[in-house]
Amino acid sequence: MVSFPVRSRARMAVLFLIPLMALVSCGDDDPVSPAKDPQCEVLPGALDFGTVAVGGDPELSFTIRNTRSGTLTGDVAETCGHYSIVSGGGAFALDGGDSVVVTVRFEPADEGTHTCTITTGVTACGSVLCTGDAQFAWEQIYSNSYYTWRAIWGSSADDIFVVGGDIRHYDGFNWETMTNPSDKSLYGVWGSGPDNVYAVGREYSTSVGVIVHYNGTSWNIVEDDLPVGFLGIWGSGPDDIYAVGLGHNAYHYTGSSWETVGLGGIVTHAVWGTAWNDVFFVGDTGRIRHYDGTTMETMTSNTSYALLGVWGASSTEVFVTTFSSLILAYTGSTWEPMQNDGTGGRLEDIWGTSATDIYCAGYSRRIMRFDGSSWKDMINPTTQTLLGIWGSSATNIYAVGERGVIQHYTGQ
C-alpha cells in the first residue's frame, strides 16, 4: 500500500473537487444566471414616413429581437388613425436569437402631421413612435416637350394665360392654343382684366425685347426690337404698368406710351407692388429697388444672389426668391432671410394668398409652401424645372415650366 504525505493528499482532494464545482456551476437549473433572462432589442426605435400624399400607403418595418436566451413574450398592437399593422402584429414568443418583423402602413386620410405609438407589450422593449406628414399632391394636367412655359397669370379661375414660345389660354373648360404674334419667346404676362393682357419677352441671341397685347379677341405687337430683353411685367392698373429685363432701364406704361425708367444699371428679373407708389424691382447681385411715387430707392438685401421672383401680401409683407434656396422677407423696415435649407436649387417664382399661405416654384420640380410657421416641400409628379406659379385661390393654383409642364393644385 502506497502512502502519500498529508500535504499531497490535501492537494489531490482540491484537484478532485474543482471539476465537481464546475459541473455544479454550469448546471441547467441555475436560477441566477443573467444569460437565462431574455433581453429585448428593437430596431429602428422609431419610424419616420416623411411627407406622403393624402391617400398614399407607404410601409416601413421594425424588428423585435431576443438577444439572450429564455423566452421573450409580448403583444404588438396599435389603436391609431391613419396607421395599420400589415404583418408581425399580435402576440409573440421569441426564444434566444429569434426575432419578429413588424410592418406598419401609413394611410393618411387628410393633411397634417400624424403620429402613432406601436406598443410591444414588453416594458423592456418599449414602444415605437411612427410619424408622417400628409399633404394633398399636385396633379400634372399637361406636358409637351416642344414648349417651355415661363410665366402664368389670370384674371380669374376661368381666364388664365400661360406664355413661353407660344401662348395657351384656359377658359374654365379647355386649354386653347393662341398665336404668339412675335417671333420672340415670352417671359412674363400680366393683365388688368380679361380683355387687357400684356406679355413681354425677348429674342434669345440678341436680347432685344417685345411687348404684345391681348384685347379680348387677338394678340398684337405693341413694341418690338426694344433694347431691353424683357423678363417680367406687373402693373397696378391699366395705366400704370412696368416691364423689366436685361437692360439698365425698365419700361413704364402711363396710359398713352411706354417710357424708360432708370434702375441703376442692373438686370431686373421681376417687379411687383401694391400700388403705383409702392413698387419693388428685384434683380442680379441681390439688388432691390423701391419706388415710392417720387424717388427710386436702393434697398439692402444682405445677399449677393440674383433675385428672381417677388410677391407680397401688403407693403410690409413682401417676399423674394433667389438663385438659391434662400427666400427673403421684408417687414417694412429690413429684408431678412426667411428660409435657406442649403439645397442650392434656385426658386424662380413666388405667389400667395396671404402672408401665411405662400407658394414658390423652381429648379428640378421643387414647389415649396409657407403655412405661417415654416416652409415645406410639396409633392408633385414632374421632374422638370418650374418657372412660374399663380393661383386664383388657395385651392386653385397652377405651376408651369420646362417641357410644357402645367401642374394644378386643388388642396384636395
Cα-based distances in Å from 248 to 204, 236, 287:
17, 22, 13
Contacting residues for 155 by C-beta, under 8 A, at least 6 apart: 191, 193, 194, 197
CATH 2.60.40.10 boundaries in the chain: 38-135
Residue 214 has pLDDT above 70, yes or no: yes
The whole-number pLDDT of residue 345 equals 80
Nearest to 82 by CA among 52, 61, 122: 52
User: What integer pLDDT is reported at residue 25 of this predicted model?
Assistant: 41
Omega of the bond prior to 58 within 30 degrees of 0, cis? no
Given a cut of 60, is residue 19 above it in pLDDT? no
SS3 content of the chain, % helix, strand, coil (to 5): 10, 55, 35
- A 10 A CB-CB count for 170 gives 21
Dihedral angle of Cα 178, 183, 189, 192, to the nearest 10 degrees? -70
Give the pLDDT band of residue 35 (cuts 50, 70, 90): low
- Mean pLDDT of the 252-266 span: 90
User: What is the share, in percent, of the chain residues with pLDDT greater than 90?
Assistant: 76
* Domain 139-409 class in CATH: mainly beta
Q: What is the pLDDT of residue 342?
A: 67
CATH topology of domain 38-135: Immunoglobulin-like (2.60.40)
Residues 6+ apart with CB under 8 A from 35: 68, 69
Q: What is the pLDDT of residue 24?
A: 39
In this structure, of 9-23, 107-121, 362-376, the range with the lowest mean pLDDT score is 9-23
Is the CB of residue 403 less than 8 Å from the CB of residue 143? yes
The Cα–Cα gap between 112 and 409 comes to 17
The band of 36, judged by pLDDT with boundaries at 50, 70 and 90, is confident
Burial class of residue 403, CB neighbours in 10 A (0-12, 13-18, 19+): middle
Query: Mean per-residue pLDDT for 42-71?
Result: 95
Give ranges for CATH 2.130.10.10 in the chain.
139-409
What is the pLDDT at residue 11? Answer: 47
Going by pLDDT thresholds of 50, 70 and 90, the confidence category of residue 164 is: very high
**Does the structure show a pLDDT above 90 at 361?**
yes
Average pLDDT value for residue range 350-374: 94
Is the predicted pLDDT of residue 80 greater than 50, yes or no?
A: yes
What is the average per-residue pLDDT within 184-206? 95
Q: Which residues contact 190 (CB under 8 A, 6 or more apart)?
A: 153, 197, 198, 233, 234, 235, 241
CB atoms within 10 A of CB 79: 9
Cβ pair 308, 348 in contact under 8 A: yes
The pLDDT assigned to 31 comes to 46
Q: Looking at residue 380, what is its pLDDT?
A: 87
Average pLDDT over residues 376-400: 94
Question: Region 33-48: what's the mean pLDDT?
Answer: 86
Average pLDDT over residues 192-209: 94
**pTM for the structure as a whole:** 0.80
β-strands 46-53, 127-135 pairing: parallel
What integer best gives the mean pLDDT of the chain?
A: 90
Alpha helices in 215-289 (DSSP H): none
- For residue 174, which of 153, 159, 188 has the smallest C-alpha distance? 159
Over residues 86-104, the mean pLDDT reads 96
Q: At 287, give phi and psi (nearest 5°).
A: -80, 130
Is a pLDDT exceeding 60 seen at residue 8?
no
Cβ-contact 175, 168 below 8 angstroms: yes
**Neighbouring C-beta atoms of residue 402, cutoff 10 Å:** 20
